[in-house]
Chain A
Amino acid sequence: MNKYIKNFVIYFIAIIILLFSLFPVYWMILTSIKRYEDLLNPYLFITKITFENYIKIISSPLTITTAINFYRCMTNSIIIALGSVILSLSISILLGYGLARMNFKFKRLVSNASLFVYILPPSFLAIPFFVHMRMLGLVNSLISVILAETIFTIPFCAWILREQFSSIPKEIEESAYIDGCGRLEVLFRIILPLSAPTLVATATYIFIRAWNEYQYALLLLYSKDLWTLPLFLTTFLAADVIPWGILMAASVLYTIPPLIFYYVTERYMIKGLIAGAVKA
């Protein structure tokens, strides 16, 4: 009897957690496929669905408070995310490998300098970063946001990659040297292929961070042609009458890529988390 009660309690809590996590997501999808007439009806199920909100977003530039183009914003978001992944990952690989395998004078200093970046949240640097970018003439360009994302993702990535590189036995590398490989060849031909899962997880982390970025995009990109998806979404929120259906359809489209990326790489992400958490 006791066992049944315990199981019941556990299932009950599990279901509450599920409902609590999922209900807002369900409501987002539901609102995005509701007909305009049904928007105010509070029922949990609807019989007539429509995709007109999606069609509206995809077919033409929208005029809410100003004319904005979903494709343009999507492209910019993708450029920023992929640009950050490429730049941040390549620098993190070099840094992670250097810290894992090399012994040199300033190793501790460099590793602490990157840890410091990890400790402080990005938004505190917003003012001087903005000013600095303005001085360099990089304000209002996608590069500035890519640079910001790169800087703030390097510490975590380099740290995870360092753990990964250190776990590869040194003997493998040494035998490659004996066979006549150069240093870079060893890195590209032996270390990186062996670390593929971790690299995928790291790339996902960078992609998701860059895809989410709001504050730096808000500060650094002020011409509408350069806006990213979060800026696109907040334009709706600023309208006098918020077009719920369209806003939710846009949110769905904005949410899909990170979810797909996460669930494809989930196994490795959790592994990375364990490495990060246990060895913190």
Chain B
Amino acid sequence: MPLLKYKKSHFFYAFIYLLPTIILYSIFYYYPFALNIYYSFTDWDFLHPASFIGLKNYQRLISDPLFFKSLILTVIYVISVLLGSIAIGLIQAFIINRPTKLAAFTRVIMFIPYMIPDVAAAAIWLIIFAPGPSGYANCILSSLGLGNYSWFQDPNLAMPMLIFYSLWKYTGFSALVLYSGIKAIPGEYIEAARIDGASEFKVFTRVIMPLLGPIISFIIATNLMSSWFVFSSVYTLTKGGPGTATLLIGMYLYSTAFESFKAGYASTIAIINTIFIIFIVILQVKRVRGVGYGV
């Protein structure tokens, strides 16, 4: 092909390649996104035409105790799941990184919970932790003489149970990413440390861990993105209850919009939380880019 023709067609094709994405995103993502911003300044309720009420929704948000409660619950949830899944994930990654058969088997098995669809996984947990004497967990505990619990329906236990469930469900992913990160570390570093006489544990804490910095930032960012607005697990396990004990932001957003039909106010909640997420993720992305090793 003559060079000139090649150059000319270059822009045409660049345009063709990007066109579907641009069209799709502008119609189905950025336009609704703009709508969201607009609705956050209105008192819209899905039925009557929206009327502009300025910053009233934002004022209301600042004095809404339920919003602050759900914000605190979300922060507790996100931080517990994050720390738990990194800590347990590191142990798992350490174990599956060994060249034994059991390690390979563990690597295959530990990812199963992550692959089970949300709703099915929640159904299993609801059955094992069914309230009353019929649930399996209660069967075991009462045979040991420890009594019955209502688990997901107990205001004090619901939140820890939700965190416990999420750790079971999502740790496999963190472990696998950490494991991939360990694999990507150049073998010479580890070998050099071994030659210098470092024990396996020392190699892990002094050589591997510091090099995992960017990977851990990646996990923090992805975990944050997926668990801040967590919805389907909460909706199937507790529906935000009992009372408001597990009313995380995703659930509060849903119930404000589709149960009390305050679409305008719900949009405000969405916008404020979006700003939080962008802020925290940008901090993490900066760290991911800042640290690095020459792979």
Contact = CB atoms under 8 A, between A and B. Distances in A.
A and B: bona fide binding partners: yes
A35 B186 CA distance: 54
Contact of B117 (A129, A215, A242, A255): A255
Contacts of B245: none
A80 to B, nearest CB: 13
Interface in A217-255: 218-219, 229-230, 233-234, 236-237, 242, 244, 247-248, 251, 254-255
Given A255-B117, A278-B181, A278-B295, A128 B267 contact: yes
Would you call the interface of chain B mostly helix, strand, loop, or mixed? helix
Given A214-B119, A259-B112, A91 B98 contact: no
A20 B106 CA distance: 11
Contact of A94 (B18, B32, B98): B18
Contacts of B184: 274, 278
Given A11-B102, A263-B108, A278-B181, A230 B32 contact: no
Nearest to A218: B235
Interface string B71-100: 000000000000000000001100100100
A131 B32 contact: yes
Given A121-B226, A121-B277, A248-B124, A270 B33 contact: no
Contacts of A102: 10, 13-14, 17
B6 to A, nearest CB: 7
Contacts of B124: 24-25, 27-28, 248, 251
Nearest to A128: B32
A123 B228 CA distance: 10
Interface in A140-194: 147-148, 150-151, 154, 158, 177-178, 180, 183
A54 interface: no
B250 interface: yes
B146 to A, nearest CB: 14
A60 B180 CA distance: 46
Interface residues of A, number: 86
Given A14-B102, A21-B112, A27 B136 contact: yes
Interface in A37-52: 40, 42
B110 A21 contact: yes
Contact of B120 (A11, A90, A113, A251): A251
A98 B17 contact: yes
Contact of A22 (B11, B109, B217): B109
Nearest to A95: B21
Given A25-B116, A124-B274, A277 B123 contact: no
A143 to B, nearest CB: 11
A265 to B, nearest CB: 12
A21 B92 CA distance: 12
B273 A127 contact: no
Interface in A1-31: 10-11, 13-14, 17-18, 20-22, 24-25, 27-28, 31
A125 B33 contact: yes
A22 B106 CA distance: 10
Contacts of B143: 42
B188 to A, nearest CB: 17
A117 interface: yes
Contacts of B183: 274
Nearest to A118: B225
Interface string B9-49: 11101111110111011001111110110010000001000
7 contacts: A14-B102, A25-B124, A42-B136, A104-B15, A121-B225, A121-B226, A125-B29
Given A28-B127, A102-B17, A259-B115, 13 more contacts: A10-B98, A18-B106, A21-B110, A121-B277, A125-B29, A126-B254, A127-B263, A127-B270, A208-B115, A230-B117, A263-B108, A270-B176, A274-B183
7 closest A-B pairs by CB: A98-B17, A128-B32, A42-B139, A251-B120, A214-B232, A230-B119, A121-B229
